[in-house]
Structure 1
Amino acid sequence: MIKVYNRITKDYEEEKVAGKKFIEWTYESPLGKNFAELIAKRKLFSKIYGKFCDTKFSAKNISNFIENFNIDMSIAEKNISDFKSFNDFFVRNLVPNARPISNDNNVLISPGDGRITVYENIDLNNIVQIKGLTYSLNELIKNNEIAQNYNGGTCIILRLCPTDYHRFHFADSGIPSETYKIKGHYYSVNPIALNSIPKLFCENKREWSILKSDNFGDILTIEVGATCVGSIIQTYSPNEKVKKGDEKGYFKFGGSTTILFFEKGKVNIDDDILYQSKNGYECKVLFGEKIGIKFNS
């Protein structure tokens, strides 16, 4: 059972996991682990399923998915009947103002919907993936020179579930760099898998870039693919000015993860998020929600 902290109700709630039995079998049983290594982590497996989710035949799954996971469609731009495929529904846009964004330059917002965990004063060689399992930033981005800039800084992990809004955005205004792509596998990013696969984030397909932000220094942003994620689509234009909250891109079907790294002394994360992270709980957040403030020395 996965419990997450709801910042609004100030209580813990059980996460409804899409494909929970399959994920548990795949990453916790001996036979399932063999399946994960031989088939599920392979690009072809996710590519085939992703292609199916692009077809009109997949659209029949939309209504049941919405009902089973109680997805609020009142904030979606399209009606259910207007989606041409499951992926069309999955990467749905929201109506304006569905996710309010603070104009305060001192406020750091969540770049997307999901479940957030934060680690401060990070050791570049022992960044926490999940309790007991760590990785190095150099392994993650394959660039030691860039990695060194974030020693002692802050790491924010935003895990998206298949039920979440799957577009990701800029956490601050600034100028983004080009995207660097790293090939990899397609393990699930569910906590069940994170507990089973050492250095999972460094194993999976991922893309990274740097936002030279106006208020929080150089923010290193990494998008991590996962099982059945057909693609990571970047929709921004490199080296062109962006505003806080502007769209950066989106994930096609599957649970996925965005990881942000901040240099030391650039951001103060909200106390409730830090407290829950220290106690092993993710906090449920929405795109645009305040998660921290600018560090004032």
Structure 2
Amino acid sequence: MAKPIPLAVWDRKTLQVHQDWMDDAKSHYESEPRRSPTQWLESQPLFDWFYAALQRSRWSARKIQPFIEKHNIDMSEFEPVRYRSYNEFFIRKFRAGMRTFPAEQNEMGAFAEARYFGWDSVESDQKFPIKGHSLNAEGILGSKERARAFENGPVMLARLAPVDYHRVHYPDDGKITDSDRIAGRLWTINWRALQNKPDILFQNERHVQILQTHNFGQLGFVEIGAMTVGRVVQTHPIDKPFRRGAEKGYFSFGGSAIVVFGEPRAWRPCSDVLRNTPEGIETFLRLGELVAAA
């Protein structure tokens, strides 16, 4: 039986905790995905293909304005374009200058406008809010060789809801040293779902890249599709250096998540993220806001 539950989120800008919930996207808040027939159906790649085609159709554009009004999205922050489909609206771009990244080299800006958990390091026997097994670097990165550099290092998990800006940006200058796509299912990703199905992050569709950055060492950067997001699109050429704040790629329609692994003692998530995480409270950060520091 389906059991969607709202999620507690602390907003750094308002300094308040609110219950994150979208009644028009209940499956993204499912706490027991294995027991939900809807989750099973929507996690199938064939369903994802069909649903994605629907969201790319011209017919889907009629959903845009009601969605904007219901969720109070400030469209003045985004480029003024005419969206021909719901998916075009979903991958909308900010106007130039609407979000900025830190100028200080040792400060890492939020690579996505999302809800964050963070750890100095993840213990294998960790139980709450996310089981340590769920954040195993080897399982998520896809190989023991990739994971070796990140053993006992910091970890961040960012969850993007359907209402969010779904483009991803680089947290620093650097280059891509390894890139891989790992096919999989599309279970929802939230901490309650990970409590009940700890292997979600190993099973879902994901894009894995190792980033060699100027100020934060190596990063294991993993974009994970979740609930009708089978397409993680990389817009930056993998053979070209990248700059801090530059667009990396985007998620097509749905919910999604990003896991970032760091080398031991290379950087530390912000104090509010670290404080809220053991309480099961995500920290909402806008793109470019301080998320960690070296």
TM (norm. structure 2) is 0.91
Residue in structure 2 matched with residue 33 of structure 1 by the alignment:
36
Query: Displacement, 1:17?
Result: 2.1
Map 1:3-42 to 2 at 5 A: 3-17=8-22, 19-22=24-27, 28=32, 33-37=36-40, 39-42=41-44
Query: Displacement, 1:106?
Result: 1.2
Map 1:1-297 to 2 at 5 A: 1-17=6-22, 19-22=24-27, 28=32, 33-37=36-40, 39-79=41-81, 82-123=82-123, 130-132=129-131, 134-135=133-134, 136-294=136-294
Structure 1 Cα separation of the partners of residues 21 and 259 of structure 2: 22
Query: Displacement, 1:98?
Result: 0.7
Q: Match for 2:107: what amino acid?
A: V
Q: Match for 1:36: what amino acid?
A: Q
Indicate conservation of the 8 Å contact 1:172/1:244, yes or no. yes
2:226 is paired with a residue of what secondary structure? coil
- Structure 1 residues 279 and 149: CA distance shift in structure 2, 3 A: same
1:177 is paired with a residue of what secondary structure? strand
Structure 2 Cα separation of the partners of residues 12 and 245 of structure 1: 27
2:133 is paired with a residue of what secondary structure? strand
Indicate conservation of the 8 Å contact 1:27/1:36, yes or no. no
Query: Displacement, 1:238?
Result: 1.5
Structure 1 Cα separation of the partners of residues 206 and 128 of structure 2: 15
Q: Match for 1:99: what amino acid?
A: R
- Structure 1 residues 192 and 207: CA distance shift in structure 2, 3 A: same
Aligned length: 288
1:179 is paired with a residue of what secondary structure? strand
| Cα deviation code 1:105-145 (max 9, x no counterpart) | 1111110100000011234x567784446332211122101
Query: Displacement, 1:268?
Result: 2.4
- Structure 1 residues 149 and 49: CA distance shift in structure 2, 3 A: same
Structure 1 Cα separation of the partners of residues 193 and 68 of structure 2: 24
| Cα deviation code 1:155-181 (max 9, x no counterpart) | 000100000000001111111234201
- Structure 1 residues 117 and 52: CA distance shift in structure 2, 3 A: same
Q: Match for 2:22: what amino acid?
A: V
Indicate conservation of the 8 Å contact 1:46/1:228, yes or no. yes
Query: Displacement, 1:7?
Result: 1.0
Indicate conservation of the 8 Å contact 1:220/1:262, yes or no. yes
Structure 1 Cα separation of the partners of residues 203 and 141 of structure 2: 11
Structure 1 unaligned spans of 5+: none
Query: Displacement, 1:287?
Result: 0.9
Structure 1 Cα separation of the partners of residues 89 and 23 of structure 2: 16
Indicate conservation of the 8 Å contact 1:175/1:212, yes or no. yes
TM (norm. structure 1) is 0.90
> Sequence identity, in percent?
27
Q: Match for 2:54: what amino acid?
A: F
Query: Displacement, 1:190?
Result: 3.7
Structure 2 unaligned spans of 5+: 1-5
- Structure 1 residues 148 and 133: CA distance shift in structure 2, 3 A: closer
Q: Match for 1:2: what amino acid?
A: L
Indicate conservation of the 8 Å contact 2:128/2:278, yes or no. no
Indicate conservation of the 8 Å contact 2:28/2:255, yes or no. no
- Structure 1 residues 162 and 280: CA distance shift in structure 2, 3 A: same
| Cα deviation code 1:57-101 (max 9, x no counterpart) | 00000011111111110011024xx10100000000110111122
Q: Match for 1:4: what amino acid?
A: V
Structure 2 Cα separation of the partners of residues 290 and 252 of structure 1: 25
